[in-house]
Amino acid sequence: MSNKAARRTLIVLLWLVLWQLASIAVNNNILLAGPYEALLALIRLGATSAFWLSVISTVLKITLGFATGLMLGCLCAALSYRYGLFREVISLPVSVIKSVPVASFVILVLIWAGAPSLSIVISALVVFPMIYYNVLSGLDSTDRKMIETSELFRFRFRDKVNHIYLPSVIPHLRSAVAVSAGMAFKSGIAAEVIGRPLKSIGSGLYQSKVLLATDELFAWTFCAVLLAFLFEKAITTLMRRLMSR
């Protein structure tokens, strides 16, 4: 283990010890469960099929929402770049999606579509504007001179995209994906807490609040943080591999 990794591990352990000491001092598991109790709760939850079904369902839905937002964002950015009128028409809805609080959308989606598809729609709505603005900004910053050159030489559409537009879009897209992957997960789970669809991490979090089970709340939270981290890593690694080809 490198010095840096060892130092980071020690720092994490220090905070865990402080948390455990605080929990002992408070001496009330409802107010503050310690990391040991949270670990026990996680093991307890992990032994049930309902826990894994919740995790799988949430991950699949958020992944689907993320992919939808990513594709729609790229498509709309390409259309906006190509057609000025489309850019003007879509600018208002995109600004609205970006500015309206997620909670408002959660309630609207609950009314329109119901709880089962809630996290799909919400994570798509969170991802869409970020991808849209970043991809559009990448397209707008494409070298005009190279576009001119490719048009005079009549490059194939595929070559134009690969060698003229993508090199400009990729850095913007990469940073947008890294930020929006984490955001999709957090907002998707937050939406589940409000909408409480069956078999979801959000529902688990809500249940632990109702039952005043702070240890389970921490267990679910740890699970959500870990999944968001893994999701972000998986998406950015996938992007890096795809883009380097």
| Residue with smaller CB distance to other proteins, 61 or 160 | 160
Contact by Cβ (8 Å): 202, 190: yes
Q: Least distance (Å) from other proteins to the CB of residue 180?
A: 27
Q: Least distance (Å) from other proteins to the CB of residue 72?
A: 30
Q: Least distance (Å) from other proteins to the CB of residue 144?
A: 10
Q: Least distance (Å) from other proteins to the CB of residue 243?
A: 13
Q: Least distance (Å) from other proteins to the CB of residue 139?
A: 17
Using a 10 angstrom Cβ sphere, with 0-12 exposed, 13-18 middle and 19 or more buried, the burial of residue 245 is: exposed
What's the one-letter identity of residue 127? V
| Residue with smaller CB distance to other proteins, 88 or 159 | 159
The percent of the chain in helix, strand and coil, each rounded to the nearest 5, is: 85, 0, 15
| Residues of the shown chain interacting with other proteins in the complex, contacts defined by CB under 8 A | 145-146, 148-150, 152-156, 159, 163-164, 167
Round to whole Å and give the CA distance between 131 and 76.
Answer: 10
Nearest partner of 227 among 38, 63, 32, judged by Cα = 63
| Residue with smaller CB distance to other proteins, 92 or 152 | 152
The per-residue b/e assignment along 84-116, b for 16 or more CB within 10 angstroms, e otherwise, is: eeebeebeeebeebeeeebeebbeebbeeeebe
Residue 137 φ then ψ, to 5° = -65, -40
| Residue with smaller CB distance to other proteins, 4 or 241 | 241
| Residue with smaller CB distance to other proteins, 8 or 240 | 240
Place of tokens 């194939």: 156
